[in-house]
């Protein structure tokens, strides 16, 4: 039935002069999300973006993918018609018949929006005429303008679009409209959610992943790659930097106190992440930290960890409970992958009693036993882009 | 250098077998149930494969049924035996069975009593305990011929005699997935009722296995369909797989003694070299006749088996581990059953040999295990 999807933007309207740029980004994002479909045309028509397909069998798939694109607040599956009143009436009746076949419809209304003011018939008159045609075609329905079972929307722009439903989508801002940041992505539940939330606010997200192969499995890399691919359905293309930090863990294990392992390792990760971010013109880091969740996420631990770098860190989950994060992860569709048993860090390197109130002086002292710069260089040389 | 030492997980298909699989796909793609000539041609090939599979265990051709693999065979047999049960009945198995038997037995726990026979530190079934467990209400005993993780070989001769002496009506099922084609089995002499085997452990294709059912025995059907394999495993036959399996059986049969001896020598050499060159090591497999020729289970103190697996994969050496490197509760039924010292459990790997392994690989493998173990120990200290 439908051959086109109209997409409405949310906050882009508020953005004044940047709007053109944002719209452009959104179109790019849609192209990326729908790359698997052939015969697709994407264009703008008076304030909305339209996704037209020559293959109407793809429609369900296109709707599923489009729902996940940040920056779109709602979509309507529609029928595109020439701006010829008779043809519009005909299609409106046809669409109504299609709806009636699938639902129990007794009442309806027609609503016309005339974006193109040159169209000769006024909205009210056009709605009335179209409603009349529907009444003539189906003798068991009546008009109810207040609480109709079905609503036929006729949107007259440069072309005419007929639809009957508005599907609410994820909202947010088009990815890339608000800068670039680097997500510290582990295989866990939290970090993919954090990336999702920041991307939703228009940030182009890339990711960095730390592992300790061969103390961890190559399957852990595959798991993180899967998480990245799931996030890409919302966030667009994500560059995933994978770094082996086994040398750092070996050095910490040899020269430092066991209970400081996590804090020291996190400081190294921050330094490496900051460097990769700067080298790739990203302005901030993103982590999945939630206050007090684990030893390295107490306030004191966070102070000591962040002290290692100058770059600001976005922590969108900071005030969320684990259950809330899990709920979000399920919605996004990352949860099932996150709970696979392949860890990014071997339990060999997890202290049995980690410090929860680390002292800056002690940590700096421990770190002075390590050749920080050399270890960072060594680890960065293992970089792989997944 | 690539050295594949995970042959108990699965094996590489031999080229002769591959040729047969391709030939069936290209030239004999008919359905054996079809009335026309193409149907007959492939039916004949399947019969030939059945004959080959029967020869390996000295069974009659009509006692052999092809299935979708070892797990399916174990399920068909156990469910098939237990068609008429009562809460007062009991069934007996060992604590070191493969999940495809262990989990089926556990599935029956709410319907009748499930008894587990004790085994010693090498995994050998305790015959005295078995004798005590058997009574007039025992319906079925399922015994794994060769354990997949440690390679212990059960004395089926003694076990079946003991069982049938105590109670003739008890049915005996043998999971022979790891022993079929590796250890001589003669079902004419053994008093077993059903015996499960698999193709991909002996350099045949995956997705094919079989079940020996002693003639005269009626198993209840589990799967219903078009009556193929005398309704024991209905469904259009996996013709390329079955013909390939038949070829693999022929190859096993042609040089059984020589091949068996080669595997045993290799296994013993690995055990000797590793014990000599690495401290803190324990060999968990029997090096005597009651150890399978192709399975060597080894534990290293202060090592994580999984980490060792990843170290070795970097050198192109593929072994396996039963125990996972994880902070979560470790769960290894088999190593628990043989009471392996907890210092050793985490550092356990399995080296399992096959047709393609050779003595030329031993230096390379031992050297790399040694280096890896030393390195891991330095880090874990």
Neighbours of A18 (CB within 10 A): 12
A267: tokens are 């400081």
H/E element holding A253?
A: helix A246-255
User: In angstroms, what separates the C-alpha of A250 from chain B's closest C-alpha?
Assistant: 6
Residue spans of alpha helices (H) in chain B = 15-27, 37-56, 70-81, 99-107, 127-133, 156-166, 239-254, 256-277, 305-313, 333-337, 342-345, 362-380
User: In sequence order, what are the residues at sequence separation of 6 or more whose Cβ sits closer than 8 angstroms to the Cβ of residue A78?
Assistant: A2, A3, A4, A5, A6, A155, A161, A162, A163
The residues of A whose Cβ lies within 8 A of any Cβ of B are 213-218, 249-250, 253, 341, 343, 346-348, 350
**Residue B143, pLDDT score:** 97
**Tens digit of pLDDT for each residue in B159-199?**
999 999 999 999 999 999 999 999 999 999 999 999 999 99
- Quick one: pLDDT band at residue B23, thresholds 50, 70, 90? very high
Pairwise CA distance, residues B122 & B100, whole Å: 22
User: Contact B222/B270 with Cβ under 8 angstroms?
Assistant: no
Q: What are residue B6's phi and psi, to 5 degrees?
A: -125, 40
Bridge-partner residues for B91, per DSSP?
B114, B140
Considering the segment(s) A4-170 as one domain, its CATH architecture is: 2-Layer Sandwich (3.30)
Neighbours of A307 (CB within 10 A): 13
User: Dihedral sign, CA of A131, A135, A137, A138?
Assistant: positive
Minimum CA–CA partner of A343 in chain B:
B326
Neighbours of A323 (CB within 10 A): 8
CATH number at residue B237: 3.40.640.10
CATH assignment, A180-385 = 3.40.50.620
Phi-psi region at B235: left, alpha or beta (left = phi > 0; alpha = psi -120 to 50): left
B328 contact residues in A (CB cutoff 8 A)? 341
Strand order in the sheet with A384-385: A313-314, A284-286, A180-184, A204-211, A240-244, A384-385
Interface touch B307/A350, C-beta < 8 Å: no
Pairwise CA distance, residues B200 & B177, whole Å: 9
Catalytic residue set of B: 325
Neighbours of A109 (CB within 10 A): 18
B163 and B33 within one domain = yes
B55 and B77 within one domain = yes
How much is the mean pLDDT over chain B?
Answer: 94
Pairwise CA distance, residues A283 & B348, whole Å: 46
Secondary structure E strands in A115-264? 142-143, 150-156, 160-163, 167-171, 180-184, 204-211, 240-244
**Residue B329, pLDDT score:** 42
**Residue B279, pLDDT score:** 96
User: In angstroms, what separates the C-alpha of A313 from chain B's closest C-alpha?
Assistant: 29
A250 contact residues in B (CB cutoff 8 A)? 379
CATH number at residue B312: 3.90.1150.10
User: In sequence order, what are the residues at sequence separation of 6 or more whose Cβ sits closer than 8 angstroms to the Cβ of residue A17?
Assistant: none
Of B231, B254, B277, which one is at a domain's C-terminal end?
B254
B56: tokens are 């390996």
User: In sequence order, what are the residues at sequence separation of 6 or more whose Cβ sits closer than 8 angstroms to the Cβ of residue B305?
Assistant: B299, B321, B322, B323, B325, B346, B347, B348, B349
Pairwise CA distance, residues A358 & B9, whole Å: 47
User: In angstroms, what separates the C-alpha of B379 from chain A's closest C-alpha?
Assistant: 6
**DSSP secondary structure of B58-92:** T--GGGEEEES-HHHHHHHHHHHH-SS--TT-EEE
User: Contact B119/B337 with Cβ under 8 angstroms?
Assistant: yes
Interface touch A214/B326, C-beta < 8 Å: no
Minimum CA–CA partner of A217 in chain B:
B310
Minimum CA–CA partner of A216 in chain B:
B307
B239 and B283 within one domain = no
Ranges of residues in chain A with a pLDDT under 70 are 11-16, 344-346
Q: Which of B309, B310, B317 to mutate to test the interface with A (most CBs of A within 10 A)?
A: B310
Q: Which residue has the tokens 């960072």?
A: A376
Q: Provide the residue count of chain B.
A: 381
Neighbours of B296 (CB within 10 A): 27
3-class SS of residue B379: helix
**Residue A168, pLDDT score:** 92
State ipTM: 0.80
Phi-psi region at A47: left, alpha or beta (left = phi > 0; alpha = psi -120 to 50): left
User: In angstroms, what separates the C-alpha of A364 from chain B's closest C-alpha?
Assistant: 23
Of B254, B277, B296, which one is at a domain's C-terminal end?
B254
Interface touch B307/A253, C-beta < 8 Å: no
User: Contact B202/B249 with Cβ under 8 angstroms?
Assistant: yes
B286 and B163 within one domain = no
The residues of B whose Cβ lies within 8 A of any Cβ of A are 304, 306-307, 310-311, 313-314, 324-328, 379-381
B220 and B364 within one domain = no
Q: Which of A219-223, A271-275, B18-22, B247-251 has the lowest mean pLDDT?
A: A219-223
Cα distances from A70 to residues A12, A207, A346, B100, in angstroms, run 11, 18, 35, 47
B279 and B215 within one domain = no
Candidates A102, A100, A78; CA nearest to A148 is: A100
User: Contact A210/A243 with Cβ under 8 angstroms?
Assistant: yes
Pairwise CA distance, residues B12 & B204, whole Å: 8
**Residue B327, pLDDT score:** 36
Of B186, B221, B254, which one is at a domain's C-terminal end?
B254
Interface touch A218/B380, C-beta < 8 Å: no
B314 contact residues in A (CB cutoff 8 A)? 214
CATH 3.30.2130.30 residue window(s) in chain A: 4-170
**DSSP secondary structure of A352-364:** SS--SS--HHHHH
**Tens digit of pLDDT for each residue in B105-160?**
999 999 999 999 999 989 999 999 999 999 999 999 999 999 999 999 999 999 99
What total of structural domains would you count in chain B? Answer: 2
Candidates B75, B131, B132; CA nearest to B103 is: B75
Q: Which of B304, B306, B307, B324 to mutate to test the interface with A (most CBs of A within 10 A)?
A: B307
A341 contact residues in B (CB cutoff 8 A)? 324, 326, 328
B248 and B271 within one domain = no
Interface touch B325/A253, C-beta < 8 Å: no
Neighbours of A213 (CB within 10 A): 21
B192-B196-B200 Cα angle (round to 5): 150
A245 contact residues in B (CB cutoff 8 A)? none
Cα distances from B50 to residues B88, B224, B246, in angstroms, run 39, 22, 7
Candidates A38, A15, A17, A32; CA nearest to A70 is: A32
Q: Which of A223, A247, A294, A346 to mutate to test the interface with B (most CBs of B within 10 A)?
A: A346
Among the partner-chain residues A217, A253, A350, the one whose CB lies closest to the CB of B310 is A217
User: What does the DSSP 8-state code read for residue B34?
Assistant: -
User: Contact A227/A192 with Cβ under 8 angstroms?
Assistant: yes
Is the pLDDT at B375 greater than 50? The verdict is yes
CA B133, distance to chain mean position in Å, is 25
**Tens digit of pLDDT for each residue in B271-307?**
999 999 999 999 999 999 999 999 999 999 999 999 9
Residue spans of alpha helices (H) in B117-255 = 127-133, 156-166, 239-254
**Residue B328, pLDDT score:** 41
User: Contact B274/B281 with Cβ under 8 angstroms?
Assistant: yes
Q: Which of B303, B376, B379, B381 to mutate to test the interface with A (most CBs of A within 10 A)?
A: B379
Among the partner-chain residues A250, A348, A350, the one whose CB lies closest to the CB of B304 is A348
B223 and B155 within one domain = yes
Among the partner-chain residues B307, B313, B381, the one whose CB lies closest to the CB of A346 is B307
Interface touch A214/B325, C-beta < 8 Å: no
Among the partner-chain residues A215, A253, A341, the one whose CB lies closest to the CB of B307 is A215
Among the partner-chain residues A250, A253, A346, the one whose CB lies closest to the CB of B325 is A346
H/E element holding B281?
A: strand B281-283
User: Contact B375/B345 with Cβ under 8 angstroms?
Assistant: no
B109: exposed, middle or buried (C-beta count within 10 Å: 0-12, 13-18, 19+)? Answer: exposed
CATH 3.40.50.620 residue window(s) in chain A: 180-385
B304 contact residues in A (CB cutoff 8 A)? 215, 346, 348
Domain carrying residue B234? 15-254
Among the partner-chain residues A217, A218, A250, the one whose CB lies closest to the CB of B379 is A250
Size of interface A-B (CB pairs under 8 A): 37
């Amino acid at each position: 039935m439908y051959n086109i999807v109209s997409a409405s933007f949310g906050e882009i309207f508020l953005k004044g002069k940047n709007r053109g740029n944002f719209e452009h980004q959104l179109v790019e994002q849609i192209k990326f999300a729908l790359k698997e479909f052939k015969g697709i045309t994407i264009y703008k028509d008076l304030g909305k973006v339209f996704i037209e397909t020559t293959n109407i069998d793809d429609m369900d798939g296109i709707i599923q993918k489009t729902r996940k694109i940040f920056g779109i607040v709602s979509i309507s599956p529609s029928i595109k018609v020439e701006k010829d009143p008779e043809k519009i009436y005909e299609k409106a009746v046809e669409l109504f018949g299609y709806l009636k076949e699938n639902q129990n419809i007794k009442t309806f209304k027609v609503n016309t929006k005339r974006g193109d003011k040159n169209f000769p018939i006024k909205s009210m008159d056009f709605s009335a005429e179209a409603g009349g045609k529907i009444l003539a075609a189906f003798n068991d329905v009546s008009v109810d303008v207040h609480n109709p079972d079905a609503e036929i929307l006729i949107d007259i722009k440069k072309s005419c679009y007929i639809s009957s439903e508005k599907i609410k989508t994820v909202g947010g801002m088009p990815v890339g409209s608000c800068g670039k940041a680097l997500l510290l992505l582990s295989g866990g539940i939290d970090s993919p959610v954090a990336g999702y939330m920041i991307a939703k606010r228009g940030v182009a997200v890339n990711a960095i992943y730390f592992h300790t192969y061969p103390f961890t499995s190559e399957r852990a890399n595959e798991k993180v790659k899967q998480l990245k691919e799931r996030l890409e359905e919302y966030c667009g293309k994500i560059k995933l930097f994978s770094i082996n930090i086994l040398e750092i863990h070996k050095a910490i294990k040899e020269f430092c106190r066991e209970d400081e392992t996590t804090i020291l390792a996190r400081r190294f990760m921050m330094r490496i992440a900051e460097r990769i971010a700067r080298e790739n013109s990203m302005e901030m880091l993103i982590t999945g930290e939630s206050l007090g969740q684990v030893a390295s996420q107490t306030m004191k631990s966070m102070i000591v960890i962040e002290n290692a770098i100058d770059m600001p860190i976005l922590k969108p989950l900071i005030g969320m409970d684990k259950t809330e994060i899990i709920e979000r992860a399920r919605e996004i569709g990352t949860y099932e992958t996150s709970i696979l048993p392949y860890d990014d860090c071997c339990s060999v390197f997890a202290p049995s009693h980690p410090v929860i109130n680390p002292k800056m002086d002690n940590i700096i002292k421990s770190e002075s036993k390590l050749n920080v710069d050399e270890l960072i260089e060594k680890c960065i040389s293992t970089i792989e882009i997944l | 250098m690539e050295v594949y030492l995970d042959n108990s997980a699965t094996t590489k298909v031999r080229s002769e077998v591959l040729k047969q699989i391709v030939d069936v796909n290209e030239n004999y793609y008919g359905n054996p149930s079809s009335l026309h000539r193409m149907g007959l041609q492939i039916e004949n090939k399947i019969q030939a494969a059945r004959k080959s599979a029967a020869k390996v265990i000295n069974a009659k051709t009509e006692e052999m049924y092809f299935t979708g693999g070892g797990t399916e065979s174990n399920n068909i047999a156990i469910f098939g035996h237990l068609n008429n049960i009562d809460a007062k009945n009991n069934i007996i198995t060992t604590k070191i069975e493969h999940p495809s038997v262990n989990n089926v037995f556990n599935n029956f726990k709410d319907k009748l009593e499930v008894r587990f026979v004790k085994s010693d530190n090498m995994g050998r079934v305790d015959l005295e305990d078995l004798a005590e467990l058997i009574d007039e209400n025992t319906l079925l005993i399922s015994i794994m011929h060769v354990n997949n993780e440690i390679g212990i070989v059960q004395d089926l001769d003694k076990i079946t005699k003991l069982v049938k002496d105590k109670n003739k009506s008890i049915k005996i099922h043998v999971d022979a997935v790891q022993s079929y084609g590796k250890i001589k089995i003669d079902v004419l002499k053994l008093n077993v009722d059903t015996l499960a085997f698999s193709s991909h452990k002996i350099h045949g294709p995956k997705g094919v296995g079989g079940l020996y059912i002693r003639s005269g025995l009626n198993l209840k059907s589990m799967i219903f369909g078009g009556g193929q394999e005398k309704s024991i495993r209905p469904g259009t036959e996996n013709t390329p797989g079955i013909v390939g399996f038949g070829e693999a059986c022929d190859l096993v049969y042609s040089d059984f003694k020589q091949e068996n001896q080669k595997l045993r020598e290799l296994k013993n050499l690995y055990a000797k070299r590793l014990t000599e060159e690495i401290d803190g090591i324990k060999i968990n497999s029997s090096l005597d006749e009651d150890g399978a020729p192709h399975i060597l289970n080894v534990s290293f103190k202060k090592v994580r088996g999984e980490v060792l697996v990843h170290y070795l994969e970097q050198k192109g050496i593929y072994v396996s581990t039963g125990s996972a490197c994880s902070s979560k509760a470790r769960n290894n039924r088999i190593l628990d059953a043989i009471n392996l010292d907890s210092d050793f459990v985490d550092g356990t790997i399995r080296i399992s040999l096959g047709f393609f392994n050779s003595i030329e690989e031993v230096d390379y493998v031992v050297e790399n295990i040694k280096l890896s173990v030393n390195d891991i120990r330095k880090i874990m200290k």
